[in-house]
Amino acid sequence: MADITPHKHCVVCGNAVKANESFCDDLCEIKFKSAQRRQQLLFGAFIVLMALILFMPSIIKMIG
């Protein structure tokens, strides 16, 4: 059996990378950070929407 050097795989595209790296190149790192930022924004919007839904009856009672 051949000796395989220690390695990991790129979290975006799956290409083999060195054991101490997470991405194969800058493009994959940019794609990952962009997707992570978009996910954080969507989660924030979800939290705001849920807060509005939960507190809307109280707000309506206070106004009217």
Reported as a pLDDT band with limits 50, 70 and 90, residue 4 is confident
Q: Which helix (H) or strand (E) holds 19?
A: none
Predicted confidence at residue 24, as pLDDT, reads: 95
Q: Look up the domain containing 47 and give its range.
A: 7-63
Q: Is 30 among the domain residues? A: yes
What is the pTM (predicted TM-score) of this model? 0.75
Into how many domains does the chain fold? 1
Q: What whole-number distance in Å separates Cα of residue 31 and Cα of residue 15?
A: 15
Read off the pLDDT of residues 31-55 as tens digits, 9 standing for 90 and up. 999 999 999 999 999 999 999 999 9
Q: Is 56 among the domain residues? A: yes
Q: What whole-number distance in Å separates Cα of residue 10 and Cα of residue 5?
A: 16
Strands 7-9 and 16-18: antiparallel
Q: Supply 41's token pair.
A: 């924004």
